[in-house]
Amino acid sequence: MTDIRTDEYAKSLSRLIQIETVSTFNQTDKTKFYDFHNALREMFPELFEVCTFENFDGSFLMRWKGKTNKEPVMLMNHHDVVEATGNWTHLPFGGEIAEGKLWGRGTLDTKGGLWAMMQAAEELAKDGFIPERDIYFLSACTEECAGEGADTISRELEKRGLRFHLILDEGGYILEEPIAGAKGKFAVIGLGEKGCADLKFIARSKGGHASIPPKNSPLVRLGKFMAAVEKKNLFETKMAPIIHATFDSLAGSMNGPLKFVLKNSKIFKPLLINVMPMVSGAAGAMLRTTVAFTMASGSEGTNVLPQEAWVIANMRYSHHQGGKSSIEAIRKLAEKFDIETVVLDPGVDSPISSHESDAYKLIDKAVSNVFKDVKTTPYIMTAASDSRFMWRLSENCLRFAPFSITDEQLESVHGIDENVDLSCLAPAVDFYRYIITNA
């Protein structure tokens, strides 16, 4: 039975992968997203029969009415994807099934999750099931750029006065040994995410000919500034309570001195603050605001000094310091190099949900019911998701995708050869079935 399900599921998800839905900033033509919506209607007719459907300029919201007026549940996964450049082993939009995997852009991020939650609901609707609470399905076509779709929908639902018992979006996966020494598989559940801001730093001069270079030209000042950002400890380093909870949940699967240290992370906090960045970049990023310089521009001539040069940085700011304080810290440093700071996007501050809530316990039960010998652990996401806009609607915004993946598959997200194991498809559907039937 499982093999039959796996074969059917793989072919179904493959169809969605074959629809190219790359999103870009200021995209006006949404035809391909509407083509994607039409494919969903054909693939999940029973679900569309029992749900209302609202279009928000390519993003959509569906509502499956339940038996009671209890706070509803929202399941989210976006259907836009990032571009697929580079040399892929399998065509990025071919939806090829080979080597026990389904290959293509979106298999993990996040058409796979969208397909799984709708497939689960389709099967339940076909069986005549009616949920206890209203179930909402939200899928945006702008997650990979500005996040406008989810932002608009959350504001509209706020106007309607809706509050949600649980909102579940993309986030962590099921990982083997998520940190060194933590033996076994863990479902990594995101309770929140760092804020994401975009900043532009501009250095100006009178320009001139490159044959008479002045001291501290715009590009030189920008270079010194970027080097200073990497060298200086600009941002506050702190271990938030959620990090202690993460360590506590992982410590039980460890041995030796590290187990004792993580089990008593509050006592060993000064040590861990110094050691964590050495263990991994991801671990260090959970402790403080980070900045990555991503774009740059100078003059258009090889022998021309620029009158204006700039770099753009992507900032992921911590909850304990926040966006305003983090931006102010780097702005003060930029001033020392006679560089102007322009905030292109200030980001969104969203709170951290509780790992002791009934909503989190539901996810925990779903994992233990479907994935044997898999434990859950809470964490803070360093990446951004559409759920950052959902703080308006719920205290319980959780981030988890029910797929067991390898480190290589994790690296393929936004990279080359994104893929999902076929063996993951049926359990992912079962996970969402549990959520819908037990909410």
Smallest CA-to-CA distance from 376 within 359, 355, 395, 347 is with: 355
pLDDT per residue as tens digits for the range 189-224? 999 999 999 999 999 999 998 998 899 999 999 999
pLDDT per residue as tens digits for the range 363-407? 999 999 999 999 999 999 988 999 999 999 999 999 999 999 999
Residue 311 CB contacts under 8 Å (≥ 6 apart), including other chains: 200, 201, 222, 226, 293, 295, 296, 297
**Interval 1-11 mean pLDDT:** 86
3-state SS assignment for residue 203: strand
User: In this structure, what token pair is assigned to residue 92?
Assistant: 């990025």
Q: At 402, which helix (H) or strand (E)?
A: strand 397-404
Calculate the average pLDDT of the chain: 95
How many CA atoms does the CB half-sphere of 40 hold within 13 Å? 27
Give residue 280's pLDDT: 66
Q: Are 122 and 75 in contact (CB under 8 A)?
A: no
Q: What is the pTM of this model?
A: 0.92
pLDDT per residue as tens digits for the range 355-375? 999 999 999 999 999 999 999
Is the bond preceding 110 in cis, omega lying within 30 degrees of 0?
Answer: yes
Give residue 256's pLDDT: 87
> How far, in Å, CA of 35 to CA of 76, rounded?
19
State how far Cα 383 lies from the chain centre. Answer: 5
Q: Are 313 and 291 in contact (CB under 8 A)?
A: yes
**301 — pLDDT class (breaks 50, 70, 90):** very high
User: In this structure, what token pair is assigned to residue 261?
Assistant: 């240290």
> How far, in Å, CA of 297 to CA of 95, rounded?
37
Of the two residues 268 and 92, the one the predictor is more confident about is: 92
User: In this structure, what token pair is assigned to residue 363?
Assistant: 């996810």
Q: Are 437 and 129 in contact (CB under 8 A)?
A: yes
**173 — pLDDT class (breaks 50, 70, 90):** very high
> How far, in Å, CA of 437 to CA of 121, rounded?
10
- Strand ranges (DSSP E) for 39-93? 51-56, 59-64, 73-76
pLDDT per residue as tens digits for the range 274-287? 877 776 677 788 89
Give residue 132's pLDDT: 97
pLDDT above 50: residue 19: yes
Give residue 31's pLDDT: 98
